[in-house]
């Protein structure tokens, strides 16, 4: 049951991260500006976020297996369209279709875990799910850079689409159903429970924190840290790929470490909120130093930033224990709306800031990155402060 869902999230993260490596090729071939590249990459997250609330209802009514299989077929069609695209409009629309198609990749996994496993194991399992996504991010670093030496980006996308279709087959043929879905309430009852979630003040504290933190971490990790390394640190494409590999490994470690630590706290009857807030606080401190221009130990500083940022995903297991398991799909997707709106906004906003300076033949103006990172830091820190100010709501 577990591995097929993890494979689906692996594929979704390959789609999410691939533009960090092929972005320069796309910019050259289609004449994209920084804002244009940010919009092209970010539209994936926008389409993803747009479908999250309906997705929650579908997951709770029809089960993660059926919903994820159907949507991954949509993603495969988007990948093939992207590989064949001849204009910026086609690229953008195809990437939006991919975002819609993989919108259940993580949420289906978290919903399946909430249905099949006891609450005291959820944070660890969720960490494993996020770590499997980072394997997808790793595949989109050095392995992708090596593949691009002999293949074009279009051929690479065609290969990913084939892998996508294989995952669909495994999900459909091998994964069992959980009988709880046969006892799902009516659509009106499900929507009423959605409204109850919206009236929970703790939900808004966590949702805005996860959105603001992912705005910084994921928008950088899936696109802009690669151009920062090129334009500010002077890395070659091969060096950028190796650095992205290291950052992905750091994030994988973060998901597993924070997941295990959270479950340990849960078994002892203690709150995981301080652990979540502490991780985001460390990430925010690292981002502040990078925005201020610190250049000593930069690779390690970026690695700590990405590792610590993973703490924010403890919000999913925190709320999985707060609400009945029959609501797992809706609770997780409601949180995910804010997460992916943050990712889209961050990718677009950084590109918009960089566009304020003239672009050189080598890349974007280095001085623009300080302002862009400063903006991301302010949003991330503001979300953390908002969460911690309402910590009594989580008791």
What is the dihedral angle through the alpha carbons of 87, 91, 92, 96, rounded to the nearest 10 degrees? 150
What is the CA 147 to chain-centroid distance, rounded?
A: 24
Cα–Cα distance measured from residue 51 to residue 99, given in angstroms and rounded to the nearest whole number = 9
Confidence (pLDDT) at 211: 94
121 phi and psi angles, rounded to 5 deg: -115, 0
Domain boundaries, the chain: 2-174+185-394
The DSSP-derived string for 204-236 is HHHHHHHHHHHHHHHHIIIIIHHHHHHHTS---
pLDDT at 111 over 90: no
Cα–Cα distance measured from residue 206 to residue 212, given in angstroms and rounded to the nearest whole number = 10
Q: Which residue has the tokens 């804002």?
A: 35
Cα–Cα distance measured from residue 348 to residue 340, given in angstroms and rounded to the nearest whole number = 12
Task: Locate all alpha helices (DSSP H) within 220-297, ordered by sequence.
Answer: 225-231, 237-267, 273-291
Arithmetic mean of pLDDT over the chain: 89
Question: Residue 267 has which token pair?
Answer: 């078994």
Cα–Cα distance measured from residue 93 to residue 43, given in angstroms and rounded to the nearest whole number = 8
Q: Which of 36, 137, 147 is nearest to 95 (CA)?
A: 36
pLDDT at 183 over 80: no
Cα–Cα distance measured from residue 164 to residue 87, given in angstroms and rounded to the nearest whole number = 24
Run of H or E residues at 197: helix 187-198
pLDDT at 182 over 70: no
CATH number corresponding to 2-174+185-394: 1.20.1250.20
Confidence (pLDDT) at 185: 60
pLDDT at 168 over 90: yes
Confidence (pLDDT) at 159: 92
Confidence (pLDDT) at 181: 47
Question: Residue 121 has which token pair?
Answer: 């194991």
CB-count exposure of residue 382 (10 Å: 0-12, 13-18, 19+): middle
- The pLDDT-based confidence of 179 (bands split at 50, 70, 90) is low
Cα–Cα distance measured from residue 343 to residue 15, given in angstroms and rounded to the nearest whole number = 14
Cα–Cα distance measured from residue 125 to residue 314, given in angstroms and rounded to the nearest whole number = 11
Which of 31-45, 215-229, 322-336 has maximum average pLDDT? Answer: 215-229
Task: Locate all alpha helices (DSSP H) within 148-200, ordered by sequence.
Answer: 153-174, 187-198
Confidence (pLDDT) at 325: 75
pLDDT tens digits along 226-280: 999 999 999 998 899 899 889 989 998 999 999 999 999 988 989 999 999 999 9
Q: What is the largest CA-CA distance in the chain?
A: 60
pLDDT at 87 over 60: yes
The DSSP-derived string for 310-352 is GGGGHHHHHHHTTS-GGGHHHHHHHHHHHHHHHHHHHHHHHHH
What is the dihedral angle through the alpha carbons of 197, 63, 72, 209, rounded to the nearest 10 degrees? 20
Confidence (pLDDT) at 70: 95
pLDDT at 395 over 80: no
Cα–Cα distance measured from residue 277 to residue 388, given in angstroms and rounded to the nearest whole number = 7
Cα–Cα distance measured from residue 120 to residue 241, given in angstroms and rounded to the nearest whole number = 37
Which of 51-65, 142-156, 249-263, 313-327 has maximum average pLDDT? Answer: 249-263
pLDDT at 214 over 80: yes
- Provide mean pLDDT across the span 351-367: 88
Confidence (pLDDT) at 189: 74
């Amino acid at each position: 049951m577990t591995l097929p869902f993890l494979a689906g999230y692996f594929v979704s993260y390959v789609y999410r991260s691939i533009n960090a490596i092929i972005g320069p090729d796309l910019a050259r071939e289609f004449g994209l500006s920084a804002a244009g590249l940010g919009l092209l990459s970010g539209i994936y997250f926008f389409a993803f976020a747009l479908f999250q609330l309906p997705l929650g209802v579908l997951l709770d009514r029809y089960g993660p297996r059926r919903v994820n299989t159907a949507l991954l077929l949509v993603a495969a069609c988007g990948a093939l369209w992207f590989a064949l695209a001849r204009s910026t409009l086609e690229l953008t629309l195809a990437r939006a279709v991919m975002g819609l198609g993989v919108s259940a990749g993580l949420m289906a996994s978290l919903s399946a875990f909430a249905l099949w496993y006891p609450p005291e194991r959820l944070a660890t399992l969720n960490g494993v799910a996020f770590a499997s996504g980072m394997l997808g991010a790793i595949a989109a670093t050095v392995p992708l850079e090596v593949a691009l030496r002999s293949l074009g980006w279009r051929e690479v996308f065609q290969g990913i689409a084939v892998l996508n279709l294989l995952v669909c087959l495994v999900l459909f043929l091998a994964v069992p159903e959980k009988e709880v879905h046969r006892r799902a309430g009516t659509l009106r009852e499900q929507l009423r429970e959605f409204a109850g979630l919206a009236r929970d003040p703790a939900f808004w504290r966590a949702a805005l924190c996860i959105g603001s933190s992912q705005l910084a971490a994921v928008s950088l990790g899936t696109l802009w840290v690669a151009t920062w390394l090129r334009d500010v640190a002077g890395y070659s494409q091969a060096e950028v790929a190796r650095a992205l590999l290291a950052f992905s490994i750091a994030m994988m470690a973060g998901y597993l470490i924070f997941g295990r630590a959270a479950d340990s706290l849960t078994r002892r009857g203690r709150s995981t909120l301080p652990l979540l807030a502490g991780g985001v606080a460390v990430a925010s401190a690292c981002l502040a130093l990078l925005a201020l221009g610190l250049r000593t130990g930069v690779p390690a500083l970026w690695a700590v930033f990405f590792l610590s940022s993973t703490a924010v995903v403890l919000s999913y297991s925190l709320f999985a224990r707060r609400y009945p398991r029959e609501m797992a799909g809706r609770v997780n997707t409601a949180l995910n709306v804010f997460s992916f709106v943050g990712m889209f906004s961050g990718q677009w906003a950084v590109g918009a800031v960089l566009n304020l300076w003239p672009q050189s033949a080598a890349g974007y103006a280095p001085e623009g990155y300080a302002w862009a990172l400063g903006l991301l830091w302010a949003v991330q820190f503001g979300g953390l402060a908002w969460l911690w100010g309402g910590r009594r709501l989580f008791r």
